């Protein structure tokens, strides 16, 4: 049962990430190339992500539905940009029920097309709008360089699809969802994000405009953690989603789509993890507090376990997700490391002296050494634990925000941008053209992450020129290495 | 907006079913042959099924995980009976990422193989057992004669997979899950079920023994509503799932698998529906109570809507899933029919006279005419609504149980069996051989549904011979037409 430590982040960040994901038993590679197995601890984290998002979607009037996994190849081909973007990543079913199919079926890479087809029959009149639908599903995009959670051939996600009467309403929805994503990321996942607009190069294939929340990982790379797309009438025209307006005119709808995937789990690992392993925010942690009983003699064992069970029951009754580690044959030190690796926000140690003093020792995962430890009376232990869990949640968000803010820099030239992106993100006036962005990528490996909304009160401001090519700038954009 | 009534069940039961599912907006056929779109109202019903089962699984120590959609063809072929059973139903991916694959990938029809492969690496010692895993997923089995929810090429389900040290523990698990399924069906879905063991002909391809819960639909047909399989060491041997026992001997595990699918939704439709449409049990109903405001004059409108909002808020605060139907331009009569079609358990009518009297009219979906109606004061309306919802839940279960029990008959010959299965289920001593069962099917279209556990205290009782072929009987079996 001896466990080696994880590779330090400073030595090899990619290796640290994969080791933490595997050793904490979040996920593992599957025998099918590019696919992963999400293990129970990782799936519980995903369930917490789902619950946090699903609640927010329902509170804003969205309803869940389910559409087919298989999409006729002809559907994918109806929107020109869409097929161009997704064709290289498709998995194709050619045989079913022992026969070759007349038309190959695509395993959905995303569902704008098949849902657009359904919307066309559901929407007749302006009274049917807005139509606000979400789907929790698996999708497949062939992946040549898989990374657990971050890029896998199959992944889990939610995809929202909405139809509206006007461009304004569709844009409002696009930004409302972006706010929901940011709210979830910051409040639940404790991951601070920058909301922004995607460049022409980085936007969704088929969207008029894509919006994103971008988070900084521990190696300064950016993770696109959620996207919300204003599709204009592109899919409504391709799939004939029309409605009769109040004056009986037939109009095309305006649609949106938006998604957050299981890569969010990878983002939580990389935004908070340290060289000891995971550090999970209490709101989404499968186990919020772990109790480690400590004894030497058999006499102590009974007394300590009895006290540990009492504390467990008290906390569980109070709604805390608590786990009592009763495993035999393992030292307390081993257990400490094990739960540290798994990122449990709070450890509760109970030994014979604690039982005698009617107290416990509490150890926060977000701090080190003496700063992490405190003693507490078992009387009203639930209040103390709640307070500490709140404190850990806040502190993880604050640490991540401070880390990020210390690594955001302004650049005014390609040389400055190149220097910055090895240890941070560069904010630079940018023209937004594909040509210029591709040249930056070739020279620096960095891509534009977004034009942050809070730094761009207007688009195409007069007098601002691109820091790289000197064409007129669309606005300020962050450039960074990205997953 | 005029809506035609649904085809009466007595006229054409299959048509009644499809019309109810489509008109109540539970689901619709998809543009991909054999697949369906689960619409929001149907998906909410499925979410209630999921919640009821998921809670029970977690309470008994099972944890959710997620395994790949794609399974290498070679995996499927490792268990001989398994591949024979599933080969004709497989969908096969031959191309991915623009290239032909070296080994074709099967879209999972069920996951014993890929999960067995994972279990082999997760289980080392007896301390890792039992391993209790569940997965919520989509699966694909090519379907030539699709029916919404009942038989579709893609469907949603949960599949549990567990590994144990001994045959006894695996059998206990198999039957524990069968009890969970029956408990869910009866308490939540209000569908009475018969627990039993499958015949050799009807068991899962690869199982040593399959157990089932069987429910009677409104046309006397049987619906297999959930199955739990004792896999013995079949998959453990095929995938090398072994453990070191306490004396350090290497042993193969004993495994189980079990599933309930979205066909449960079809079962709820057919067990309770009447010629007016759906009748949903309150525990799983997306909307438990609908409020229909009634007014003629504009003056009344304001007063009535105000009262309706108050009742809505009171019930919502009490945890009732309530909906206020404020649609304009529709008569109350149209709304009554509409919500009747959608099976909402309780309708609350509020008109000007009700407002004046500080009362409402309550109408139960499970009863007809005067028996369905009662008046209630708005004071403590939430208690009255809760009581009525409980009463509707109990009454639907009771009606279904009485209907079923009135159509269970004993048979002692093939002729009697043939007569019975046109309007019920026949219990007959049965040898359990494939040969005999296939001959019954050919002559009567009926198949063995199960050997009910409560009618078979022992297997192969001495002196009992098959009612059809006169070989020694395995026990008493129900025969019926089945979905």
Could you tell me which residues are beta bridge partners of residue B228? B211, B258
Residue B81 is predicted with a pLDDT of 86
- The CA-based angle A308-A310-A316, given to 5 degrees, is 100
Residue A69 is predicted with a pLDDT of 98
SS3 of A118-177: HHHHHCCEHHHCCEEEEEEEEEECCCCCCECCCECCEEEEEEEEEEECCHHHHHHHHHHH
Mean pLDDT of B409-437: 97
Fold classification of A408-480 (topology level): Translation Initiation Factor IF3 (3.30.110)
SS3 B248: coil
Report the run of H or E that residue B93 belongs to, with start and end.
strand B91-96
Whether residue A140 and residue B69 make contact (CB cut-off 8 A), yes or no, is yes
- What is the C-alpha separation between A450 and A432, in angstroms, rounded? 10
- Which of the pair, B328 or B426, is modelled with greater confidence? B426
Given a contact cutoff of 8 angstroms between Cβ atoms, the answer to whether A204 and A161 are in contact is: no
Residue with the two structure tokens 């045989």: A95
The mean pLDDT value of chain B amounts to 96
The residue of chain A nearest to residue B106, with distances taken between CA atoms, is A93
Mean pLDDT of B51-75: 97
Question: What ranges make up the beta strands (E) of A30-153?
Answer: 36-38, 63-64, 70-72, 91-96, 99-107, 131-140
Q: What is the mean pLDDT of each run of 10 residues along chain A (483 residues)?
A: 76 97 96 95 98 98 98 91 90 95 96 97 97 98 95 98 98 98 98 97 95 98 98 97 97 98 98 97 98 93 96 98 95 96 98 96 96 95 97 98 98 97 97 96 97 97 96 98 96
Whether residue B39 and residue A65 make contact (CB cut-off 8 A), yes or no, is yes
Residue A53 is predicted with a pLDDT of 98
CA distance to partner chain A, nearest, from residue B81 (Å): 17
If one counts every other C-beta atom within 10 angstroms of the C-beta of residue A305, the result is 16
Check whether B254 has a pLDDT greater than 90. yes
CA distance to partner chain B, nearest, from residue A31 (Å): 8
The residue of chain A nearest to residue B46, with distances taken between CA atoms, is A65
The predicted-structure confidence for B199-234, as pLDDT tens digits, reads as follows: 999 999 999 999 999 999 999 999 999 999 999 999
Whether residue A91 and residue B89 make contact (CB cut-off 8 A), yes or no, is no
- What is the C-alpha separation between B132 and B177, in angstroms, rounded? 11
Given a contact cutoff of 8 angstroms between Cβ atoms, the answer to whether A148 and A239 are in contact is: no
Alpha-carbon dihedral A397, A402, A408, A410, rounded to 10 degrees: 130
Could you tell me which residues are beta bridge partners of residue B359? B377
Q: Which one of B31, B92, B156 has the shortest CB-CB distance to A66?
A: B156
Q: Exposed (0-12), middle (13-18) or buried (19+): which is B450, by Cβ within 10 Å?
A: buried
Whether residue A35 and residue B88 make contact (CB cut-off 8 A), yes or no, is no
Report the run of H or E that residue B97 belongs to, with start and end.
none
Whether residue A142 and residue B69 make contact (CB cut-off 8 A), yes or no, is no
CA distance to partner chain A, nearest, from residue B242 (Å): 18
Whether residue A68 and residue B95 make contact (CB cut-off 8 A), yes or no, is no
Q: Give the orientation angle of helix A263-272 with respect to helix A381-405, to 10 degrees.
A: 90
Task: Go through B254-277 and write b for each residue having 16 or more CB atoms within 10 A of its CB, e for each that does not.
Answer: bbbbbbbbbbbbbbbbbbbbbebb
Choose the CATH number for A13-272 among 1.10.3720.10, 3.60.20.10, 3.90.110.10, 3.30.930.10.
3.30.930.10
What is the reported pTM? 0.96
The residue of chain B nearest to residue A152, with distances taken between CA atoms, is B68
The predicted-structure confidence for A1-26, as pLDDT tens digits, reads as follows: 345 689 999 999 999 999 999 999 99
Whether residue A43 and residue B66 make contact (CB cut-off 8 A), yes or no, is yes
Given a contact cutoff of 8 angstroms between Cβ atoms, the answer to whether B269 and B376 are in contact is: no
If one looks up domain B410-480 in CATH, what number appears? Answer: 3.30.110.30
CA distance to partner chain B, nearest, from residue A75 (Å): 10
Where residue B3 falls among pLDDT bands split at 50, 70, 90?
A: low
Report the run of H or E that residue B357 belongs to, with start and end.
helix B352-357
Residue A1 is predicted with a pLDDT of 39
SS3 A77: coil
Residue B76 is predicted with a pLDDT of 92
Fold classification of A289-389 (topology level): Rossmann fold (3.40.50)
CA distance to partner chain B, nearest, from residue A235 (Å): 17
Among candidates A289, A311, A305, which has minimal Cα distance to A351?
Answer: A305
ipTM score above 0.90? yes
Q: Examine domains B289-389 and B410-480 and report if their fold is the same.
A: no
Whether residue B66 and residue A38 make contact (CB cut-off 8 A), yes or no, is yes
Residue A3 is predicted with a pLDDT of 52
Residues of chain B found within 8 Å of residue A76, distances taken between Cβ atoms: none
Check whether B4 has a pLDDT greater than 70. no
The predicted-structure confidence for B468-480, as pLDDT tens digits, reads as follows: 999 999 999 999 9
- What is the C-alpha separation between A481 and A70, in angstroms, rounded? 34
Whether residue A95 and residue B94 make contact (CB cut-off 8 A), yes or no, is yes
Residue spans of the domains in chain A: they are 13-272, 289-389, 408-480
Chain centroid, CA B433 distance in Å: 27
Q: Which residues contact B398 (CB under 8 A, 6 or more apart)?
A: none
- What is the C-alpha separation between B256 and B268, in angstroms, rounded? 27
Q: Which residues contact A462 (CB under 8 A, 6 or more apart)?
A: none
Mean pLDDT of B281-285: 98
């Amino acid at each position: 049962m001896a466990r080696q430590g994880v590779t330090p982040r400073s030595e090899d960040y990619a290796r640290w990430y994969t080791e933490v994901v595997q050793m904490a038993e979040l996920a593992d590679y599957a025998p099918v190339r590019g696919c992963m197995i999400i293990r129970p601890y990782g799936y519980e984290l995903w369930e917490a992500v789902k619950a946090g998002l699903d609640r927010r979607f329902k509170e804003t009037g969205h309803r869940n539905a389910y559409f087919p996994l298989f999409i006729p190849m002809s559907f994918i081909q109806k929107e020109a940009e869409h097929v161009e973007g997704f064709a290289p990543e498709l998995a194709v079913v050619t045989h079913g029920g022992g026969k070759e199919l007349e038309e190959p079926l695509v395993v959905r890479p995303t569902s704008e097309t098949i849902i657009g087809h359904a919307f066309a029959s559901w929407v007749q009149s302006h009274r049917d709008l807005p139509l606000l639908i979400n789907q929790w599903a698996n999708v497949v995009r062939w992946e040549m360089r898989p990374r657990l959670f971050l890029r896998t051939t199959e992944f889990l996600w939610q995809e929202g699809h909405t139809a509206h009467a006007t461009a304004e309403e569709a844009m409002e929805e696009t930004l409302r969802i972006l706010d929901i994503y940011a709210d979830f990321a910051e409040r639940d996942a404790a991951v601070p994000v920058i909301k922004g607009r995607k460049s022409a190069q980085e936007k969704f294939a088929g969207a008029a405009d894509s919006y994103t929340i971008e988070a900084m990982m521990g190696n300064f790379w950016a993770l696109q953690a959620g996207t919300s797309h204003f599709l204009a009438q592109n899919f409504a025209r391709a799939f004939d989603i029309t409605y009769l307006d109040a004056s009986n005119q037939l109009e095309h709808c305006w649609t949106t789509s938006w998604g957050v995937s299981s890569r969010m789990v990878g983002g939580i690992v990389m935004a908070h993890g340290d060289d000891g392993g995971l550090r999970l925010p209490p709101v989404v942690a499968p186990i919020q507090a772990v109790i480690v009983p400590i004894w030497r003699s058999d006499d102590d064992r009974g007394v300590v376990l009895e006290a540990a069970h009492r504390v467990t029951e008290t906390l569980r009754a109070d709604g805390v997700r608590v786990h009592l580690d009763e495993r035999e044959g393992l030292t307390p030190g081993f257990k400490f490391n094990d739960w540290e690796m798994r990122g449990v926000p709070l450890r509760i140690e109970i030994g014979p002296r604690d039982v005698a003093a009617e107290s416990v020792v509490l150890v926060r995962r977000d701090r080190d050494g003496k700063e992490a430890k405190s003693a507490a009376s078992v009387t009203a232990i639930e209040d103390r634990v709640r307070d500490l869990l709140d404190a850990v949640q806040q502190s993880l968000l604050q640490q991540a925000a401070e880390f990020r803010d210390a690594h955001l820099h302004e650049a005014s030239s390609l040389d400055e941008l190149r220097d910055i992106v090895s240890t941070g993100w560069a904010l630079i006036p940018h023209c937004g053209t594909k040509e210029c962005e591709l040249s930056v990528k070739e020279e620096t490996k960095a891509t534009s992450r977004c034009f942050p909304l809070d730094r761009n009160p207007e688009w195409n401001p007069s007098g601002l020129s691109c820091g790289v090519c000197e064409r007129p700038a669309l606005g300020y954009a962050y450039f960074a290495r990205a997953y």
